[in-house]
Each structure stands twice: as structure tokens, then as C-alpha cells.
Chain A
Amino acid sequence: MAKQKMRKWYSLTLIYIALLIGLIYSSFPVLWMFFSSIKSNTEIFSLPPKMLPKEFTLKAYESIFSNPTKIRYFINSYLVASVVTFLTLLVAILSGYSFSRYSFKLKKALNLFIISTQTVPPITLLIPYFGLIVSFKIYNTYFALIFTYLVFTLPYAILMMTGYFNSLPKELDEAVQIDGGSNFLALWRVLVPISIPGIVATGVYTFLLSWNEFLFALTLTKTTEMRTVPVGIQQLMGQHAYEWNEMMAMSILGSLPILIMYLIAQRYFLAGMTAGSVKT
């Protein structure tokens, strides 16, 4: 009996050691980034390196908030991601409702098309997008970003919304139709309100996808007042290769919306992450 207890204790210790190694592997880089953002630039590479700053300073953040160009990156990112999220949800709710509640001839083909668009490489689309956007004269506008972002947000959003509607009983909206309400009314008054959790999950994931986008933003905009945060960070890197504390502060601020969404709505957040792979 004592031997068994000993073995149990032994394996538990091993599990905890493994957990701690995992903790260092996953979180040390992030902690290092955070503490570098509140150090002075000269302290970052001082020897021997210390995690905690000798001298706590918010200078890096101050210099970002006092720089209109950098504030503009954030405004652009929030604006583009919000509009994309709104439009995506609108289109995806309609499409998801149709997939979930109707059977129609092209249903399978359309569904297959939507799934396969998830796998088309962005670089393949980028070249024709560039050609088309220049010829439509919307190069270097918000419109160019909002429009092209829909191509990667829509497929996910539609699949997530369809899945959510499928989990709701059909009797709900049929009752409205028998009472003489239109299908649109059934969707708007009955399905949408009870689908808020699904809509939030889809919205969070859509926001995240557009917030993180880099390749299209880099190529389809040109002037600093049109740049988004990821491209802004890249620009910062080119201009002041040595302002590490500022780059780290910018990265923290650039991850803030995602961190906040994750902490508030962890469950919804993970729903989007696993949408493509795990069937629930």
C-alpha cells in the first residue's frame, strides 16, 4: 500500500514538473515581451539580463500615445475590423439560416464551395486583387481592405452560424410562420435573439481574423494613414530598429483587444478556434 502511494506521489511530481516546463515554454516569451515594454531601451540588453525592470517606466507607451501616426494605426485597425465583423455577421446569418432551414438544389455545391475557399492561399488571391483593386481605383482605401477581408472571414462565419442554427429546434421558427409571420421575421425576431451566443462567438473570431491580417494590408495600402497595426509594427521595425521597448509596447497594445476578448469570452473564443476541426 505504501509502495503504491509512493508511486502515485512520484507520478504526480512528474506531472507537475512537466506542467511547469510547459508554463515556461508557453509564457516566458510573452512575459519577456511585457517586461521589456516597461523597461528603458538601454536596460533591455543589459547584462546580466533581468526579467523585472530595475527602473519601471511607461515611456514607451507615452511615446506611442503622443504619436498621431501610431494612434492612426490603431484607429484603422479598429475601424476595419469592426466594419468587417458587422458585414460578415449580416451576410453569414442570412446564409447560415438558409443552409440550416431550407433544402435547395445547389445547397451541397455551395457548401462545398464555401469549405474549399478556406484552403485557397491568400498569395494566389493577392495578385489578382492588386490588379483589380488598382483598376477599380480603390487602392489604398479602407474599402479595399474591408472588401478583401470578407473572403477569409465569410467562410468561417457561415460554417459557424450554420452549425449554431442547426443546434436550435426547427419548431421555433416554424411556429412564427404558421402564425402568419414571414420567414424573415422568424429569423429576425426568434432565431437571432436566441442565437446571441453563436453570433458572439462568430463575431469574436471574425474580429480576430481581420485584426491579425497582414498580407493584404501590406499590399493593398500604401500611405501611413491607411496602415493597420500589424503593418504599423513592421514599419516601426524598419524605422527604429533599436527602439525595442516601443516595439514591445506596440505589440502589447496591438494584442490588447484579443487578450480582453479572450479573458471575457473564453468559451466563445475557443469555439471559433476549433470550428474547423472538431465536430460538436
Chain B
Amino acid sequence: MTLSTLYKKHNNSRSMIFYKAKRHILPYLFQAPTIILLMLLMLLPIITVFRYSFLNNVIMNKNPIFVGLDNYKTILSDQIFWISTGNTLYFTIMSVIFHLIVGLSFALLLNSKAVNPIIRGIFRVFYITPWMFTATIVAIIWRLLLNPSGIINYILRSFNIINSNIEWFSSSATAIHALTFVNIWAGYPFYMVSLLAGLQSIPNDLYEAATMDGANELQKFWNITIPQLLPIIISIAMLDFIWTMQVFPLVWMTTGGGPIHATEMLSTYTYKLAFTKYQFSLASSSAVIILILSMSIAFFYIRHQKMRD
């Protein structure tokens, strides 16, 4: 039976109507588990957190009453909230900048044609290693390395860079920088892998044409490599910004937000409000503020992704 006769047969029978109805309903049937799960796990909690934020101490209090914007007023007039916001911004911006610098440098090294591809492959395996370790393990590794009597202090002292052991994570002068440094180490492989894939997709004739025109390596880098990578750079930097803003395990496992709020982030601030102070309503309004911050950056990320499509 040929296709056209088959279609004709279908057209003449009731099965075509069934077929059309099926084409309308089926996609939703396939999506049903996703829709139900996301309603339960995303929509319901977000509605709940908004509701919590307008009540007085929920969860602990059996019959909470509506208090309007009081919780938001309390949060926004809390000095520690603003310290946390400042720390989060510093940590996030520095992490994103250095992730990009380290990730791009490593990607360029691994893409350099002068080196044997097999050797580059071996280096690539090692360069990705930080990404193999989850944040809690990253925290523990660096607590060992940055221990006052640990190896980093020993090396710095033997080169006379410092003359006494530094308590990297427990001194308020160094804690946030140590934390940012560790986060840069943990996060650059994501940039490196993405940018390496991007570098490999730049057509070679662009470089050849530039060489014919007498461009040097630096000119090629600024006029070909960077513009070609820019869409990827913008994507990953925005995604990284959103993710880094949400940092929790690394801080929790190294400094816990201390010493005296020196490394307090919006996430640890909110977590402590909820689970050490049991102020669930205040925590909810802080969580809503974080959500709004994240979503406003996410808005630009999604718009950028759509433009790339």
C-alpha cells in the first residue's frame, strides 16, 4: 500500500478525526508528569514563600496573622542584610571575572596548535579536576591547604612572602578573599570547557584571512577570537552570576558566614534566620528578595538565549 492511498483511507474514516484529536491531546499527555511535578515543586513553593513572607512567624506559630510588609521592613532595615548583600556582590563579581580570566587562559592554552594534541588532551583531563569535586569536598580540601599550619602558609613563609602563619578562613581581613579564591579554583573548569568548545568552532579561514592581511596574534585575538566567543561568554557569565549569588555549601563548610559576618552571604543569612533563629517569616521575605534579584538577572539571560536561537 502506498502512502497516499493510506492517507486517503484515513481521511475517509473516523480514525482521521481520532488521529487529529490525538495530535492535540498527546503532547500534553507526554508533558503531564513534568507539568504536575513542576506545579508541586516550583509553583506551589513560590506561592507559599510569598504567603509566608506576609505572615508573622509561620511554621513555629500555629495561627499566624497577616502583617503586610512588616517582615520586608525588618529585613531591609537590618544592617546584616546589607553586609550580606555587599559580600555576595563582591564574591560574585570577583568570581565571575576571575573564572573568565582563568577559564579563557586555560582554554587558549589547550587550543594552542603548537602543542601535540595528545599532550593537550592529557592536560585537559587534569585541568578539569576541580570540577570533579562537590562544594563540600572543595571546602574540606582547602581547609586542609589553608590551615594555619598547612602547606600554603609553609610555602609562602619559605619564600618570605609572609612572616607568620595566617588564619585564612578565621581572620576577618582575609576570609572573604580566601573564600573567593577557593571559589575561583572550583568554578573555572565550566568556563574552560565551554570556551574550548567555542574556540574549536571558530572557522579557521577567519584566522587565515587575517594572517593574509598581516594581522599579528594579539590583533587576531581581539578582532576574531573575542567577538566570536562573545555570545558564549555572555551566556556563561550570566549563568555563573546567578549560580554564584546562590552560593551556600562552600561558605557553610569553610567559614559559616563568619568571622562576625565577614563572609555572610544572602544565602547563609537567610538560612540562619530560618534554621538557627527559627524566624521563618523573616527568612521568607529575605528569600523573596533573593528570588527577585535572581529573576531580574535571569530575565536578561533568557532574553540573550532567545536571541541566540
A interface residues (Cβ-Cβ under 8 A, vs B): 8, 11-12, 15-16, 18-19, 22-23, 25-27, 29-30, 32-33, 36, 44-45, 47-49, 90-92, 94-95, 97-98, 102-104, 106-107, 110, 112-117, 119-132, 134, 147-148, 150-151, 154, 158, 178, 183, 211-212, 214-215, 218-219, 230-231, 233-234, 237, 244, 247-248, 251, 254-255, 258-259, 262, 266, 270, 273-274, 276-280
Contact = CB atoms under 8 A, between A and B. Distances in A.
B21 interface: no
B80 to A, nearest CB: 16
Contact of A131 (B48, B133, B270): B48
A41 B106 CA distance: 35
A124 B285 CA distance: 9
Interface string B38-50: 1001101110110
Interface of B: 3, 6, 22-24, 26-28, 30-31, 33-35, 37-38, 41-42, 44-46, 48-49, 52, 58-59, 105-106, 109, 112, 114-115, 123, 125-137, 140-145, 147, 149-151, 154, 185, 189-190, 193-194, 197-198, 232, 235-236, 239, 242, 245-246, 248-249, 252-253, 266-267, 270-271, 274-275, 280, 283-284, 287-288, 290-291, 294-295, 297-298, 301-302, 305, 308-309
Given A18-B105, A45-B147, 7 more contacts: A44-B144, A95-B34, A120-B294, A131-B52, A230-B136, A251-B133, A251-B141
A16 B116 CA distance: 11
A134 B52 CA distance: 15
B165 to A, nearest CB: 11
A211 B136 contact: no
A231 B136 CA distance: 8
B291 A134 contact: no
Nearest to B186: A29
Contacts of A214: 134-136, 248-249, 252
A98 B134 contact: no
Given A33-B144, A115-B305, A124-B291, A211 B134 contact: yes
A103 to B, nearest CB: 8
B134 A129 contact: no
A48 B151 CA distance: 9
Nearest to A113: B38
Contacts of A211: 134
A151 B194 contact: no
Contacts of B308: 279
